[in-house]
Each structure stands twice: as structure tokens, then as C-alpha cells.
Amino acid sequence: MNRAQRLQLLFAGDEDLLQLDTHLARPTNSDNLKADFTEKAGEDTLKDIEPVDGGPLPHLQPQTLMANLPPSASKIPEWELRRAYVPAKALPKFPYKYVFPYGRELSRKVARAYFDGGRVWQRVWEIYHLPLPGEKYLLLVPALQVKQLLDEINHDFDCDLALLTSQKGLVLSFNDDDGTPQPVRLGLIEDREGLYQMEQQIRQATKSQSDWMKTCSPAGLRAFQKKAYDALMTFKRGSSKSKGQSGGFDAVFASSGELTRTLRKIQSYLGLQQLPPQKPSPPESADTSACAPLEVNREENDVTPVFYSIDVEWNERNSHQITEIGISILDTRDLRSLSPGPHGDNWAQLIRSVHLRVAEYKSFCNTRFVRGCPHLFLFGKSEFVPERRIGRRVDDFFAPPSGDAERHIGASPPAQKAQKEPARKMILVGHSPDGDVNLLAQRSRVFQTFLSEGSIFLETLDTQQLYRHLRKEPHQRSLEHVLHSLGIEPRCLHNAGNDARYTMEALIRIAWDFAE
């Protein structure tokens, strides 16, 4: 096997490796390229750039490193850092997450000298507190202090580390005029114990107030949510697809009061009303009165939105390759004349489900991290769509409905009929849906617009957050756990169509249990 074949084998099935920047300067002409890859030179080059564990080049000079950074990775100027902050808990991870691209050996030396064993806290830090709704917070340090630390490291190791524009969520700037919270100075610390004591003070303090959210503009709120989420992800372990972990903007802002109000609105949309206490039923009728406390009560002029639940599956080795998309639709107008039945089971029968499979990946099935089953859609027939058309096909289902949502299963609504009635409200549902939304936004105009303007959906509901609030759970739960806890026995999970369907059923059960 020659060198080219070995490299092809290395990159097979993992296109992300091809995008990795090794910081090697490209030759400017083909003659130099040919000269560099003589047999002996090639062996020496491979020996240098392929460490045993696959890490990046360990001995590049600082000027070479900075010269080869991508255009988006420019240094943040000092004048911008004067009013900027860095998440305090991101500091211990700095050498492993942000120095490592400069070289494995440099990362190890910097970590050993300045960060490991709590060394990063053995200097004077000015600590700030950024309050977030939902009793959450961020501890921040001034970005200029971090720059001073990096300057010391650069002097000691003859390197050129810096705070860069490409380091997502690491450097935070705040606008005094947008109505969102601003960092509050707490004081100075000189060791890790001081940081711990400040954290305890924050946890014992008055709960964060979220009144600003009522007056803040939607654009300002969304920008603040994204900023806070990106900052949290600089030091938290998480995956946009992991159904059992905290995920997305809603996880940052999910306060108890807001979730209670959200559940009440869902109850109103569905028409569930809790009746006043009644006299106890005779013992012999106990088995038939389980659903007696609830009834449907919706006036004609109430909002009757259409619920859309989504789920996306992708190649577990390449997140850019979407393999399946599941969409389920529940039209609240269909519920007007139908009794919900025990736990809303009658309403669950009215959910209409779609399973889209990308034709190019029809033979692919995830097996390493999850056990996929793309061929086992339980609620209809799967539809195969070419990858180039998958975004437009998704958009067909999310064209704002003006009448019955049923016609959106399979085709976009006729334009003429859409003019006869005002567009109805749509509500997006998902189980930790942010990762799915971001993937769909890369292909779907509807979701691109949603991320940029936020005006497509009346609300976005996360069943992971709603269930956690309903059951007072300390941790986020996977979809499978939620379903079993709610009395739903799922089959063939990790099929996008099935997951979207079960997510909608979970929403109905959550609303039912909350109303009871």
C-alpha cells in the first residue's frame, strides 16, 4: 500500500478530517510540490506531521502559525477587549481547547505551567456575575486579564497565543442599550477557593429576575440567548443531538415560572380545562372515572394553532449528512369535536406523520452510537427524496396553513385558497430541538428564516424541558425515558419519523398530566 492509498484509507468516511487546518503553508507552484514529495522527503514529512495519536504539528514557529490561520480567525484588537469578558470556567480548558490547534506539545507545556492543578486561579482575577433567568448564571473575568495571561505565556514559550474572533462564545461583549442583563462586579479572588465561595454566594442570593424579557425586543432576546448558550458551551460538555443532555437556548432560559405559563398555554391550545373538585365517586366506579376531572373547553375565537414536531437523524460519523427527517402534525381544529379519551389517547390518533429519507443514503444505518432503524417507520410509508431537494420538500410542510393542516401532508397549499383565510399560527415541537433546527436551517428556507427572524412559529416547545419541569427532575431525560415515564411504550426509536411522532404524543401526555 503506497502513501496515497494510506491517506485515502485514513480519510475514508470522515469528511470532517479533510477540513482540518494543519497550519501548513501551501506551496506556490507545482514544481515545489513535486520536489517536496520525493520518496525520502515524503517519508520525513509524514513522520513529522503524523504523530502517533493523530495530533496536530507540535513544533511550528509562532509566525507560521498566525500566518496560516484562516481569515475568520483574526486577533481581537485590544480596544475591543477593554469592555469584553471571558467565561471564568472556560479558563481551565483553555490549553486543551484553544492552544491545542497550535500544537500538541505546546498545549501540554502551557497546561502544565499555567493551568493544571488549579494554577490558573493562583493569580488575582476580577470576577463578574452575569445573571440569567431560571436561577442560572455565568461567572466572567475581564478579557484584558486573559490577554495579560496569554502575553506571559507568549513570552515564556516564544509563541503567539491570542483571543481570536473564531473562538465561539469565548469573548463576550455587551450592549448597554439593548435591555439585556449586564455583568455585575463581585470582587477579586486569588485562588480556586475564592471562586468557589463566590459561587456559593450567588446560589444563596435572590433568584434572577426575568422582567427584562417582557420589554426586550425579540431580536435582542434571541441574540442574548445565543450569546449565553455559546458561552456555556465553552466549558460544558454537550452535543446538539444528545437527547439526554441539556441542549440549546431554551435550556438556558427555562425558569420554573415560564415553563408553568407555557404548559398552561399548551393546555389552552388543546382545550383542556381542570374542573373544580367533585364529590368522591363510589368505589365500584373508580376504574372508570380516571379521566373525569378533565374536559374540553375551547371557545370559537380562541387561537387554534397547528403543532409541528420534528426530528432529524444524520450520519453519526459525519453530521453534515442528513439521512432522515421526521415531521408530525397535530391540528387543534381537529380536536374540537373529539373527546380526548384517557390521557389524550384519542387525540394522539389524529397526529399525521411523515418520514423523509435522503435517497443517496438509503442504505446507511447508524450502529456505533445509536441503533438506527430507518426502514422501520411505524406510522405510514417512508418517502425518498434526493438530497438536493430535501430542503424544499421540508418547506412544503411548513408553508403557513390557512385552513385545514391535513392538506399539507404531501403538498404545499394552493396560493389562491391561502388568500381566503388569514394564515394560522404554527408551533414547533421537539425533544431538545436546537440541533435539529440548526441542521434544517442549512437546507430549508423556512428554518433559515426562523433562525434569522424568529417570526415563523408562534412558539417553540421542548418536551425535554417541559417534562423536567412537570416531574421536578434534576436532570434532562432522553426521549425514551420520558415516553416510558409517561406510560407510552415506544418501538423503533432513532427513526426520525417515529421519534417525531412520539415527541408529539409526549407533548399531549405532558399537557394532560399537568392539567390533572
308: which 3 cell numbers? 409541528
pLDDT winner (highest mean) among 182-196, 201-215, 231-245: 182-196
CA 231 to chain centre: 13
pLDDT band at 426 (very low <50, low <70, confident <90, very high): very high
Give yes or no for a contact between 405 and 215, defined as CB atoms under 8 angstroms apart.
Answer: no
pLDDT at 368: 86
Report pLDDT digits (tens) over 143-168: 999 999 999 999 999 999 999 998 98
- Architecture in CATH for domain 248-276+290-515: 2-Layer Sandwich (3.30)
Give yes or no for residue 415 having a pLDDT over 70. Answer: no
Q: How far apart are CA 22 and CA 57, in angstroms?
A: 7
448: which 3 cell numbers? 433559515
Give yes or no for residue 87 having a pLDDT over 70. Answer: yes
Higher per-residue confidence, 389 vs 448: 389
pLDDT at 125: 96
- b/e burial code for range 145-173 (CB count within 10 A of at least 16 → b): bbbebbeebeeebebbbbbbeebebbbbe
Among the listed residues 455, 465, 456, the one whose alpha carbon sits nearest the alpha carbon of residue 431: 465
pLDDT at 301: 44
According to DSSP, the β-strands at 318-331 and 184-189 are: unpaired
What percent of the chain stands above pLDDT 90? Answer: 41
Give yes or no for residue 63 having a pLDDT over 70. Answer: no
pLDDT at 282: 46
pLDDT band at 10 (very low <50, low <70, confident <90, very high): low
Q: How far apart are CA 228 and CA 349, in angstroms?
A: 39
State the Cα angle at 201 between 81 and 150, rounded to 5°.
Answer: 25
Q: Where are the domains of the chain?
A: 3-50, 71-232, 248-276+290-515
Q: Residue 186, Cβ neighbours under 10 Å: how many?
A: 17
According to DSSP, the β-strands at 294-296 and 184-189 are: unpaired
pLDDT band at 208 (very low <50, low <70, confident <90, very high): very low
pLDDT band at 504 (very low <50, low <70, confident <90, very high): very high
pLDDT at 473: 81
Give yes or no for residue 295 having a pLDDT over 70. Answer: no
Supply the Cα-derived Rg of the chain in whole angstroms.
Answer: 27
pTM: 0.56
Q: How far apart are CA 333 and CA 303, in angstroms?
A: 10
Report pLDDT digits (tens) over 355-410: 999 999 999 999 988 899 999 999 999 999 999 999 999 999 988 665 555 544 55
pLDDT at 178: 73
71: which 3 cell numbers? 481569515
Give yes or no for residue 283 having a pLDDT over 50. Answer: no
Mean of all residue pLDDT scores within the chain: 78
Element (H, E) at 186: strand 184-189
